[in-house]
Amino acid sequence: MKRWIRIFIISVFAIAAVSLVVIQFYQTRRTFSINDNMFNIGVGNAMDEVIKQLDAETTMGSDEPAASFSYQGLDSLIAEQLLLNGIDIHPVVGIYNGNERSFLYSSDPRHEKQLEESPYRYNFHPAGVVSNNQFFITLAFPTAQLFLQRHSNLFVYMSFFLVLIIAAMFVISLRALANQRKLDQMKSEFINNMTHEIKTPLATIGLACEMLRDETISQDSASRQNFIGIINDENQRMRVLVETILQSAKMSNKNFHISPKEVDVHQIIKKVAQSFTLTLSNRGGSLETQLNADPSVIEADELHLTNLVYNLIDNGIKYSANAPAITVSTAIVDHQLELRVSDHGIGISKEDQKHVFEKFYRVSTGDVHNVKGFGIGLNYVTQVVKLHQGHIALESELGKGSTFIITLPMC
Ligand code: ADP
C-alpha cells in the first residue's frame, strides 16, 4: 500500500474516531441533563400531590403542621408519590421552620445541612395551622446521582463500549498496517541480503575456476589444491545457506517432521569443522574441539543437526571482528548431550539476546561490522532444537564473545 494512502486512511480513521468520541461525550451530557429535568419535574409533581393530601388531613387550629399528621406517614406518602412519578428512591425528608431556621422533623439528621441547602423546598402552610411561621417540606436525594446514572447507564455504557470497540479496531488496523510494512521491509532486505550472499561465493568460485584454467597455476599442485579447496568451501557455504532458507520455510509448515536416526554428534562436528579450515586460515583464526561426551551417539536428524552446527560455527566466525577463536565442546550433563559453541567475537547485548532467535531479527550493526545475513540462522537452529525436544541457551557479553549452549536428549 502506498505511503500517502496509508496516511490518508489513518487520518480519516483518526478524525472519525475523535469526532465520534466528542459526539458521544456531548450526547451523554445531554442525556444526563434531560434525565435531570425529568427528575425535577417528577419530584415537583409528586410534592404537589403530597401537599394537597396533607392540606386535607391537617387538624384545624394546629400550632404547626407536624402536629396534624404522623412523620412516618409523611415519609411513606412522599416515597409513594415519587414512585408514581417514576422515581424509585427514598429521599431524606425534613420539615423546616423558616422563621426559626430549625427543623421540626428530619428523617435523617445526618443530612440536615443538605436538607437546608436543598433546591427541593416546598412551601407548606396548611389552612388549619394557625402559626404565622413559614414552613417548608424539604427533600434531599443523597442517592439521586446514582438514580440518574442508573437511568443513563445503559446508554452511556453502550456508547462507550462502541467507542472502545472502534478504538480497538483502529489500533488493530494500525498494528496490522505497521506489521505489513515491517514485513515488506524485511522481505526486500531478505532479497538484498540473499542476492549478496549468493553473489559473493559465486564470484569467488568463478575466480577460482579462472585460476585453475590458467595452466601455470593449475600445474602447481599446492595452488591447485588451494583453489579446489576454495571452490569446495564456497560450495558448502552456499549449500548450507540454501538449505537453511529451504528448511526454515519448510519448518513453518505444521506438518513438518524430522527423520531421526542414531547419529554420532562428534562425527558431525568434525565434518563441519573440517569445512571451515580454509575460511579460518584466511582470517588467521582457529577452531578448537573438546569432544568429551561419552557416548556421543544420539537420536537426531543428521541433515538438520549438521546445519545447526554449521550455522553456529559460521556465526561465531562471521561475528568475530578479529581473528576468530571458536571452541566447540560436548559433554554429558544430566543424562543429556550438551553442545557448546563459543567465540570471542563481538558479543550480543542483553537487549538483543531477547530477540536474536526471532525470525529475520538482525542486530543493528552500525559501523562496528558489516556482515551480511538473513536473520534466519538462529531461528532455524531454535526450530531444530525444538524438534529434537532439546533446549537452547545463550550466554554473551558485548565485546567479549558468545556461547550457545544446546542440550539434546540421548537415545
Ligand atoms: P544472520 O547471521 O544471518 O544475521 P542469525 O539468525 O544467524 O542471522 O543471527 C541473528 C543475529 O544474531 C545476527 O544478525 C547477529 O547480529 C547476532 N548473532 C548471531 N550469532 C552471533 C555471534 N556468535 N556473535 C555475535 N552476534 C551474533
Instruction: State the sign of the Cα–Cα–Cα–Cα dihedral 159, 162, 166, 172.
Output: positive
Within 8 A by CB and 6+ apart from 201, the residues are 234, 235, 237, 238
Of all residues in the chain, the percent with pLDDT exceeding 90 is: 38
pLDDT category of residue 188 using cuts at 50, 70 and 90: confident
If you average pLDDT over residues 322-327, what whole number do you get? 95
> What secondary structure, in 3-state letters, does 118-164 show?
CCEEEECCCCCECCCCCEEEEEECCCHHHHHHHHHHHHHHHHHHHHH
Residue 366 has pLDDT above 60, yes or no: no
d(CA 166, CA 188): 33
Best-predicted range by mean pLDDT (136-140, 222-226, 267-271): 267-271
If you average pLDDT over residues 89-111, what whole number do you get? 87
User: Which residues, judged by CB distance below 6 Å to any ligand atom, belong to the binding site of ligand 1?
Assistant: 315-316, 319, 343, 345-348, 356, 361-363, 373-379, 402
pLDDT category of residue 176 using cuts at 50, 70 and 90: confident
Supply the pLDDT for residue 328.
Answer: 98
282 half-sphere exposure, CB direction, 13 A CA radius: 13
Residue 156 has pLDDT above 80, yes or no: no
Task: Give the number of the atom of ligand 1 that is nearest the alpha carbon of residue 341.
Answer: 23
Instruction: State the sign of the Cα–Cα–Cα–Cα dihedral 253, 259, 263, 268.
Output: negative
Between the CA of 103 and the centroid of ligand 1 the distance, in Å, is 84
d(CA 269, CA 323): 21
Which letter, b or e, does each residue of 70-102 get, where b requires 16 or more Cβ atoms within 10 Å of its Cβ? Answer: eeeebbebbbebbeebebeebbbbbbbbeeeee
Cβ neighbourhood burial of 10 (10 Å; 0-12, 13-18, 19+): middle
pLDDT 10s digits, 34-65:
778 888 899 999 999 988 888 777 666 666 66
Average pLDDT, the chain: 85
Residue 157 has pLDDT above 50, yes or no: yes
Record the pTM.
0.59
Using alpha carbons, list the distances in angstroms from residue 173 to 9, 13, 162, 268: 10, 10, 16, 48
Query: With contact defined as beta carbons under 8 Å apart, do 53 and 89 qualify?
Result: no
d(CA 73, CA 93): 11
Best-predicted range by mean pLDDT (17-31, 55-69, 390-404): 390-404
If you average pLDDT over residues 272-279, what whole number do you get? 90
d(CA 134, CA 101): 10
- The more confident residue out of 330 and 90 is 330
- The more confident residue out of 207 and 371 is 207
Question: Which residue's CA is the nearest one to ligand 1's atom 13?
Answer: 362
Between the CA of 243 and the centroid of ligand 1 the distance, in Å, is 17
Residue 223 has pLDDT above 90, yes or no: no
Supply the pLDDT for residue 341.
Answer: 98
- The more confident residue out of 378 and 166 is 378
Task: Give the number of the atom of ligand 1 that is nearest the alpha carbon of residue 373.
Answer: 3
Residue 298 has pLDDT above 70, yes or no: yes
Supply the pLDDT for residue 369.
Answer: 45
pLDDT category of residue 15 using cuts at 50, 70 and 90: confident
pLDDT 10s digits, 111-147:
888 888 889 999 887 766 777 788 889 998 887 666 6
Task: Give the number of the atom of ligand 1 that is nearest the alpha carbon of residue 345.
Answer: 24
Between the CA of 317 and the centroid of ligand 1 the distance, in Å, is 10
Between the CA of 292 and the centroid of ligand 1 the distance, in Å, is 27
